[in-house]
Amino acid sequence: MSKIEFLMGNEAIALGALHAGVNVVCGYPGTPSTEILETVAKMRDDSVYVEWSVNEKAALEVAAGASYSGARTLVTMKQVGLNVASDPVMSLAYVGVKGGMVIVSADDPGPISSQTEQDTRHFSRFSKLPCFDPSSPEEAYEMVFEAFEISEKYNTPVILRPTTRVCHACASVKVKDNKIIHIPDGFVKDTMRWVIFPKTSYMNHIRIEKRYDELSKQFCESKFNFINGTGKIGIACGGISYAYVCEAVETLNAWDKVKIFKVGTPHPFPEKLAVDFIRSADKILVCEELDPVIERELIFLCGKYNLQCNIFGKYTDNSPVAGENTVESIMGYIADFLGIDYSEKIYKPDVNLPVRPPVLCAGCPHRASFYAVKKAMKGKKAVFSGDIGCYTLGNAMPLDMVDTCLCMGADVTIAQGIHRIDSDTVNFSFIGDSTFFASGITGVINAVYNNTEIVLIVLDNSTTAMTGQQPHPGTGVTMMGDIVNKISIEKILEGIGLEYIKTVNPFNLEESVNAVKEAAALPGVKAIIFKAPCIAVSKPQKYLTVNNKCIKCKKCINEIGCPALVYTDKGVIIEKGLCTGCGLCMQICPVNAIE
Residues that bind another protein (CB under 8 A): 4, 6, 31-32, 112-113, 136, 165, 168-172, 240, 242-244, 246-247, 250-251, 326-328, 331, 344, 347, 349-361, 390, 393, 397-398, 466, 554, 557-558, 561-563, 565-567, 577
Under 8 Å between Cβ of 433 and 401: no
Return d(Cα 352, Cα 418) in angstroms, integer: 41
| Shortest reach from residue 225's CB to another protein, in Å | 17
Phi-psi domain of 363 (left: phi exceeds 0; alpha: psi -120 through 50; beta: other):
left
Return d(Cα 390, Cα 413) in angstroms, integer: 20
Residue count (the chain): 595
Return d(Cα 119, Cα 131) in angstroms, integer: 12
Task: Give the nearer residue to another protein in terms of CB position, either 392 or 452.
Answer: 392
Task: Give the nearer residue to another protein in terms of CB position, either 275 or 573.
Answer: 573
Distances from the Cα of 164 to the Cα of 111, 202, 574, angstroms: 9, 37, 36
Return d(Cα 395, Cα 388) in angstroms, integer: 12
3-state SS track over 530-542: EECCCHHHCCCCC
**What is the sign, positive or negative, of the torsion defined by CA atoms of 358, 362, 367, 369?**
negative
Return d(Cα 240, Cα 163) in angstroms, integer: 8
| Shortest reach from residue 392's CB to another protein, in Å | 8
Task: Give the nearer residue to another protein in terms of CB position, either 242 or 530.
Answer: 242
Task: Give the nearer residue to another protein in terms of CB position, either 22 or 331.
Answer: 331
Under 8 Å between Cβ of 43 and 94: no
| Shortest reach from residue 110's CB to another protein, in Å | 10
| Shortest reach from residue 466's CB to another protein, in Å | 7
φ, ψ for residue 338, nearest 5 deg = -90, -5
Task: Give the nearer residue to another protein in terms of CB position, either 27 or 32.
Answer: 32
Task: Give the nearer residue to another protein in terms of CB position, either 113 or 446.
Answer: 113
Return d(Cα 299, Cα 283) in angstroms, integer: 12
Distances from the Cα of 416 to the Cα of 115, 386, 438, angstroms: 22, 13, 19
Under 8 Å between Cβ of 184 and 71: yes
Residue-by-residue DSSP string for 460-477 = E-SSBTTTT-B--TTTSB
- Treating both helix axes as pointing N-terminal to C-terminal, what angle do 34-43 and 9-19 enclose, rounded to 10 degrees? 50
| Shortest reach from residue 594's CB to another protein, in Å | 15
Under 8 Å between Cβ of 423 and 445: no
- Treating both helix axes as pointing N-terminal to C-terminal, what angle do 509-521 and 365-376 enclose, rounded to 10 degrees? 50
Task: Give the nearer residue to another protein in terms of CB position, either 46 or 350.
Answer: 350
> What distance, in Å, lies between the first and last C-alpha atoms of the chain?
62
Task: Give the nearer residue to another protein in terms of CB position, either 302 or 360.
Answer: 360
Residue type, 542: K
| Shortest reach from residue 249's CB to another protein, in Å | 10
Task: Give the nearer residue to another protein in terms of CB position, either 352 or 451.
Answer: 352
Task: Give the nearer residue to another protein in terms of CB position, either 326 or 587.
Answer: 326
Residue type, 79: Q
Task: Give the nearer residue to another protein in terms of CB position, either 90 or 407.
Answer: 407
The residue ranges of DSSP E strands in 388-524, in sequence order, are: 426-432, 454-460, 500-504
| Shortest reach from residue 264's CB to another protein, in Å | 15
| Shortest reach from residue 348's CB to another protein, in Å | 9
| Shortest reach from residue 516's CB to another protein, in Å | 25
| Shortest reach from residue 560's CB to another protein, in Å | 11
| Shortest reach from residue 251's CB to another protein, in Å | 7
Task: Give the nearer residue to another protein in terms of CB position, either 191 or 352.
Answer: 352
Closest residue by Cα to residue 431 from 398, 474, 468, 397:
474
Closest residue by Cα to residue 405 from 367, 358, 413, 529:
413
| Shortest reach from residue 569's CB to another protein, in Å | 13
Task: Give the nearer residue to another protein in terms of CB position, either 170 or 537.
Answer: 170
| Shortest reach from residue 247's CB to another protein, in Å | 5
Closest residue by Cα to residue 72 from 140, 8, 148, 1:
148
Closest residue by Cα to residue 583 from 409, 433, 365, 427:
365
